[in-house]
Homo-oligomer: A and B are copies of this chain.
Amino acid sequence: MGWYGPLVAMKALTSTRGVTIYAVAERAGVSIATVSRALRDPGLVAEATRARVEAAVAELNFMPSRLGRSLAEGRHAANGIVFPDLIGPYYAEVLLGYEEAAADLGRSVLILGTRGRADPTAQVLDLAGRVDGLVVMGQTVADDVVAAIAASGPPVVLLARPPVAGADTVTAENEAAGAELARHLLGHGYRRFAFLGDPAGSPDVAGRYAGIAGALADAGVRPPAPLRCAFDVTAGHEAAVTLLKRRTRPQAVICANDEVALGVQEACADYGLDIPTDLALTGWDDVMTARFVGLTTVRQPMRDLGATAARWLHDRIKERTESAETGPARTKVLPTQLVVRRSCGPHDPD
């Protein structure tokens, strides 16, 4: 904005803290209204006046207060995003896509991780009061909270979470990809499966499991009950230990995400089991490690998820600003892609 001229200049006069528009006006010998105009639309002010204002701004090192401005304008020029956690590459990538797109649209980004806190409601509501629009990911707050915000707070876009009335929703394809993955494994000849992950813990996982179970059932194979575990390497490792102790061992282990699969891989190493010879293994997300260890997985467009959410939010905010009609809630499902590597078994080199 204004004060990037004599950067290493003054800090005297008004004791530096809080150089207000009044000080600038006084120094320039004009009214605060003129200063405001000169700053936000120089065309409205006479050449000479503007020069004086600019000089005063530079000399006083003036930076308009965002708070004052926002209060007067009735907007924050900021967006928020709520995510369950930041552990693992998935959320970081989504966040990256979101921040990038939001910044391009000239908006600051506020983040809030709920990391399984008992009741993040208060924090989410607080966040809602700081932004012009809010993205809510996965299992972070209850539907009624989302609905309440969407109804009487800023617009909300849901990410990787089932739709709620009044909010747009962006997700990645889960069910069809799950089915495709299952069919691929069936093609390898496997008939005994295990599923590691908690469908109840995440809408995404629920979708993946549904697709997998459906495809297996269609092939006359009884879908495995999910072996519930958290979303990280340690949980996967532990779940695998449980699994490997059972009397009949599965031929293929399908995991809710890549990190769980990596935990399984660790456990197999401990037990002297070779992947894929002794056990086929698949993950989900296609994080960097998956590529380096040859893990078969399903790639999600993580950055795109974030970027799409940012753009949709922007639409809604504009809609409101221009007091246009509020369009109906939108839904978008971004495509995912099966990535076959060596962990699911041998393939003909073609």
Contacts and interface: CB of A to CB of B under 8 A. Distances in A.
B129 A63 contact: yes
A317 B290 CA distance: 42
B70 A67 contact: yes
Tally of this chain's copies: 2
Contacts of A113: 96, 99-100, 103
Contacts of A91: 92
Interface string A100-131: 10010000111111010000011101110110
A86 to B, nearest CB: 4
A126 to B, nearest CB: 7
B147 A8 contact: yes
A151 B11 contact: yes
Contacts of A293: 292-293
A335 to B, nearest CB: 22
A4 interface: yes
A234 to B, nearest CB: 12
A112 B63 CA distance: 19
A17 interface: yes
Interface of A: 1, 3-4, 7-8, 11, 16-17, 61, 63-68, 70-71, 76, 78, 86-87, 89, 91-92, 95-96, 99-100, 103, 108-113, 115, 121-123, 125-127, 129-130, 144-145, 147-148, 151-153, 233, 259, 262, 265, 287-289, 292-293
27 contacts: A3-B125, A4-B125, A4-B145, A8-B144, A8-B147, A11-B151, A11-B152, A16-B151, A16-B152, A66-B126, A67-B67, A68-B71, A71-B71, A78-B110, A86-B92, A86-B96, A89-B92, A91-B92, A92-B95, A99-B112, A99-B113, A100-B115, A109-B112, A259-B288, A288-B289, A289-B292, A292-B293
